[in-house]
Structure 1
Amino acid sequence: MSPDTPGGHGPPGSVPPLGEGTAEDLLRGICFKTGPPRIVGVELEWLLHDREHPRVPVSHHRLEAAAAAVRALPLNAAVTFEPGGQLELSSRPADSLMACVNDTATDLIAVRAALGRLDLVPVGLGVDPWHPPRRLLREPRYDAMETALDRWGAAGRAMMCTTASVQVCLDAGEEEPGPLGYGRRWQLAHLLGAVLVAVFANSPFRLGRPTPWQSTRQSLWADLDPLRTLAPAGQLPPRDAWASYVLDTPVLCIRGEAGPWAVPEGLSFRDWIRGGLPRRPVQADLDYHVTTLFPPARPRGHLELRMIDAQPGDDGWLVPLAVTTALFDDPEAAETVYRTVKPLAETAGPLSAPRNPLWLAAARDGLADPELRVAAAACFELAMEALPRMGATRAVQDTVAAFHDRYVARGRCPADDLRGLLAPDRVDSRNDLKGTLS
């Protein structure tokens, strides 16, 4: 989750108010910008732990020092820090998979070195296995988010402060039908998404105890505000479905010149346009509202795939990036993978992701689910065949193949390793974790 804080709401009367028809047109035109897929990006979130004592919470002043050190680096990526102190690197849009991989890998070398000088390490886990939610950023956006999500229980604070992910960003797709058409890619995101949850599940612990989930992070997203994290209904064409979803979802907050911001209850953006209170919304409010919606796939001129847990190891992040990009952007792989995962729609049922049976099985069971295991094996085979066609280096191909052999071929996911390493009865798992999590 990025801070995503566009400005421009301006003082009352300084910007033309937004009409309902204009809002629908903007959403249809801006969120699904079409063209040949050629751009790829990745957003990497990391928990920050003490290098020698990972179970001890990192103090606020050490996290502030870490933020200052990382922001001072000449990075390719944009740097942000999440409410609980998680580090996020958002790559620039790259014109190839390898350009994205190389830029990100270079940035991570510098980031790890800077954090190492502070005895900190970036940790690839979907959920912090030990520490309770502790919000460090005090900003109007996060104050409002906490207030709004608290209405639905404790999952909101846990999501804000203790979770981390790998988010893959790809072009929306071509206007014309076919394997690279935006309609097909939108459907693929929601079917393949469940496979990605299962394959990369990496968060089986929370608050020092094992959970019933391989991806506890995904379970937290499913427990949030029932509309804000739900995929749009599938009956309408993607552009119409997305426009309706955005306008009919309650606003998280109404920004003002100073905090605290208003946090209305049950006020949809459509109702806000029609009612005009406490002020008339403008386009910047619509842009901001989109950043407060957290479905598993979010169109923002490109497709954000938001369902993947953060991954362990120095290069674990590049496996979901490479596999997902190959399956979406290589035409041959895209056509075949769509036919491979389309039967999963029957398992998904009528409910939208992430609350349908398919997504819940992926989060709960990972690749222990036989249907998801078969689909994952087919997806990896297609991706490994496509990567050479996309110019992936031998090192990237070998990393993907090693993940396949260690996990996918054996019906396992990274969470299966963690259940042994993080068991509560282990006296000291520090040495085991050094090479696995950092």
Structure 2
Amino acid sequence: MMTDAMKTEQGPATNDERTLGVEDSALTVASALGHIDRLFTPTHAHTVGVEIEMFLQPEGVREPPAFGVAAAVSHELQDHLSGRLTFEPGGQIELSSNPAADLQSLADEVDCDLRRLAHGLGRVGLQATTRRDTDAPLPDRVLHNPRYDAMERYFLPWNPYGLEMMRATAALQVNVDVGATASEVADRWTLLYAIGPALVAAFGNSPSAAREGGWKSRRLRSWLGLDPARTATPTLDGRHAGPAGYAQWALDAPLMLTQMDGHDWLAPRDVSFRDWILRGTEVVDRRCPARLADLDLHLTTLFPFVRPKGYFEVRYLDMPPGHWWIVPTAVIHAVISGPRAADAARAICEGTEDLWRSAAHYGLQDRRLRRAAEELLELSIENLQETPGARRVAARIDRYRERWTSRGLSPADLCGASENWLFPQQP
């Protein structure tokens, strides 16, 4: 699952590609489709990982330290952590775990990293939190490079959602293996989408102010308001694009940016990657014909709810409060772990698969989503209680269910600011 190639936006080319010089050759539509299709290659790996985003804020009422202080602390801490620290454009800090063979190993490693991170940040007057104040102004962008400069300009037609997405959202991304056979890959892909709205409702933790409509997941609201050609659920001919259709969807998505020698990477408007392959410098006049590295870069600018990267990156979840990150991670891992659990999860979520907007806006106030969420958590607890070494994780799901889900609530409804801090203790 989360191999070394997972830790960067652009994985290395395969040995065969290097040998054949594909990296330096102009792409054809067929070679581009084949390259994307390889992201769905079955694997017998059984690993799980996470990417955890958090906001930084000053402790007490002091003025926030300069971003450089947080960056320096992160650099100092890196050698003492198992995972990898990076930053998002608005200064959000992200911890990316290593792949783990089981949930308890992942929980132990990531919780240890989070305790060290909280301690290190505390030494310079900072604390990590998983939620912003609903009335806080939009933070400035602290990362300035050609990629983010182009991205911000590209999303201008969809503001304020583009600015909010880049600067004011914190996600939990769960990474799971694609499956061992082609049929399992396809089933897992559709299942991860099918369970999405129920999980969004259960774990919403980015509420908007009442004057903005009182959304439970302001973060997902932002994604739903962005460029539909590159976000949400990939479609082909008006239907959900499975693995067989994803490559076509990706090639037809508009170019956002192209790597240039200078600082202006913004791509021409209304040009798809397929257009670039077929028409070359006629449509992207500042660049040579599209090559493999250009396609890899393009793929990093696509933001479906589940993104194939040689593994499946589940992108629709808000970061839950504090150390509760393991709960949605475990639920996802549990329901895809075997055909019996997968079939049960699919049946539970029947009729809720397209309720993304309702999940983001109303959360578990939508009775269909509440029922599905409660049953998904129950299913995952049952599955993990039967799994050697996973009972402690199952107990954490049960405590979460009692705290929120069984009461028809998500953290957006009932969760104080202090619960969102990264304290050293575990729930």
User: Is contact 2:150–2:265 with CA below 8 Å preserved after alignment?
Assistant: yes
| 1:238 and 2:224 matched | no
Q: Counterpart in 1 of 2:40?
A: 32
1:386 aligns with 2:394: no
Q: Identify the residue that residue 212 of structure 1 maps to in structure 2.
A: 214
1:108 to 2:103 alignment: no
| Contact 2:380–2:394 (8 Å) recurs in 1 | no
Q: Point out where structure 1 has 5 or more consecutive residues left out of the alignment.
A: 349-357, 422-432
* Unaligned segments of structure 2, at least 5 residues: 1-5, 14-21, 423-427
% same residue: 34
2:418 aligned with 1:434: yes
Q: Secondary structure at the match of 2:317?
A: strand
Picking from 289, 296, 299, the partner of 2:308 is: 299
Instruction: Determine the C-alpha separation between the residues in 2 that align with 1:77 and 1:47.
Output: 18
* Contact in 2 for aligned 1:27/1:239 (Cα 8 Å): no
Contact conserved, 1:198 with 1:365, CA < 8 A, in 2?
Answer: yes
The one-letter code of the counterpart of 2:159 is G
Q: 1:409 aligns to what?
A: 406
Between the aligned partners of 1:416 and 1:341, the Cα distance in structure 2 is 22
SS in 2 for 1:378: helix
Is 2:357 the counterpart of 1:360? yes
Distance in 1 (alpha carbons) for counterparts of 2:181 and 2:241: 13
What's the counterpart of residue 430 of structure 1? none
Aligned to 1:192: 195
Q: Is the 8 A contact 2:198 2:352 kept in 1?
A: no
Q: Does 1:66 align with 2:73?
A: yes
Distance 1:126 1:332, change over 3 A: farther
Give the secondary structure class of the aligned counterpart of 1:263: coil
Q: Is the 8 A contact 1:101 1:318 kept in 2?
A: yes
Is the alpha carbon distance of 1:2 and 1:153 closer, same or farther for their aligned partners in structure 2, counting shifts above 3 Å? Answer: farther
Distance 2:64 2:166 in 1: 16
The count of corresponding residues between Structure 1 and Structure 2 is: 402
**Contact 1:173 1:182 (C-alpha < 8 Å) held by counterparts:** yes
Contact 2:252 2:274 survives alignment (8 Å): yes
TM-score with structure 2 length normalisation? 0.88
**Map 1:320-339 → 2, pairs under 5 A:** 320-339=328-347
Residues 14 and 257 (structure 1), Cα distance of their counterparts in 2 relative to 1, 3 Å cut: farther
What's 1:224 paired with? 226
- Whole-angstrom CA distance in 2 between matches of 1:41 and 1:243: 25
Q: 1:209 to 1:122 in 2, by over 3 A?
A: farther
Q: TM-score, normalised by structure 1?
A: 0.85
1:312: how far off?
A: 0.9
**Contact between 2:201 and 2:363, CA under 8 Å: does it hold in 1?**
yes
One-letter amino acid of the counterpart of residue 170, structure 1:
V
- 8 Å contact kept, 2:150–2:257: yes
Q: 1:377 and 1:95 mapped to 2: Cα distance?
A: 27
**Match 1:256 to one of 257, 260, 268:** 260
Letter in 1 for 2:412: A
- Residue 174 of structure 1 corresponds to 180
Indicate the RMSD between aligned Cα atoms, in angstroms. Answer: 2.5
1:390 Cα deviation from its structure 2 partner? 3.2
Which stretch of structure 1 is more off in the superposition, 208-217 or 41-50? Answer: 208-217
